[in-house]
A and B are shown apart, each in its own frame.
Chain A
């Protein structure tokens, strides 16, 4: 049975995910502004929920800051708590 195992000389060319990176770390952001609602929309889904970092690629340090910023922006009505179609 062992002979029948398929072996590849090279790993098969399956579609792999594009490289994820933390946009804040890459651009050298130190502070995420809660007053900039339009920018924070990039980290939300159309319902206004905060996207998980497994989707955005944000590092943990900046995800924490971003989520705090979004929550502050919601409090000040710069962003909605719930929405239907943000974009």
Chain B
């Protein structure tokens, strides 16, 4: 095995090559001065937004989300961030439904993990829409700065309004349930 060539070709690899490499899962790079072999799995960052049907109860929503977290983990990925947008109005009806539960997952995985992840969505009747985007460096920077901002906002408020928000959250949940029943 000509490691030198392998390394060089990896360095000049295009996007397509990276996918090929991740199909093999293992790409080998040699540390300088004949150190031990290092096995590197190329991880990419992805962001997925999906919409669940408004028919689901809060438990069912949590269950669905948990299922997709598990799918990511089973494909060798890791969930980095999550954001539940909750019940939102759709800009146009999808499958005759005008609202949906939005959920965002930011995750990290080798490129091979994306396809099985998306087939899960296609097979699932609870999912109205989904969109997975590969994150480039600007997208990552944007997402992280946004998170920092919201954290900074939340921190001072959290101390003062923990008690105030708790009943409000409960109310929101009940109102959601009411909508579902309606």
> Do A and B actually bind?
yes
Chain A residues within 8 Å of B, Cβ to Cβ:
30-31, 33-35, 37, 72, 74-81
Chain B residues within 8 Å of A, Cβ to Cβ:
49, 51, 90-92, 94, 100, 102, 104, 129, 131, 133, 136, 138-139, 141-142
Question: A77 and B142 in contact (CB under 8 A), knowing A35-B49, A72-B133?
Answer: no
| A77 engages B131 (CB within 8 Å) | no
Q: Which of B131, B136, B142 contacts A76 (CB 8 A)?
A: B131
Write the chain A residue with the least CB distance to B142.
A31
Q: Which of A31, A34, A78 contacts B91 (CB 8 A)?
A: A78
- Shortest Cβ distance from residue A8 to the other chain B in the assembled complex, whole angstroms: 49
- Shortest Cβ distance from residue B78 to the other chain A in the assembled complex, whole angstroms: 22
Complex CA gap A20/B104 in Å reads 36
10 contacts between A and B (CB under 8 A): A30-B141, A31-B136, A31-B138, A37-B91, A75-B131, A76-B51, A77-B51, A77-B92, A77-B94, A79-B91
The DSSP consensus for interface residues of chain A is loop
Question: A72 and B131 in contact (CB under 8 A), knowing A31-B138, A31-B142?
Answer: yes
| B133 engages A80 (CB within 8 Å) | no
Q: Which of A31, A77, A79, A80 contacts B129 (CB 8 A)?
A: A77
- Shortest Cβ distance from residue B26 to the other chain A in the assembled complex, whole angstroms: 32
Residues of B within 8 A of A80 (CB): 91-92
| B139 engages A31 (CB within 8 Å) | yes
Write the chain B residue with the least CB distance to A30.
B138
Q: Which of A33, A35, A81 contacts B92 (CB 8 A)?
A: A81
Q: Which of B49, B133, B141 has the most A CB atoms < 10 Å from its CB?
A: B49
| A77 engages B100 (CB within 8 Å) | yes
Write the chain B residue with the least CB distance to A48.
B91
- Shortest Cβ distance from residue B128 to the other chain A in the assembled complex, whole angstroms: 8
Q: Which of A31, A78, A80, A81 has the most B CB atoms < 10 Å from its CB?
A: A31
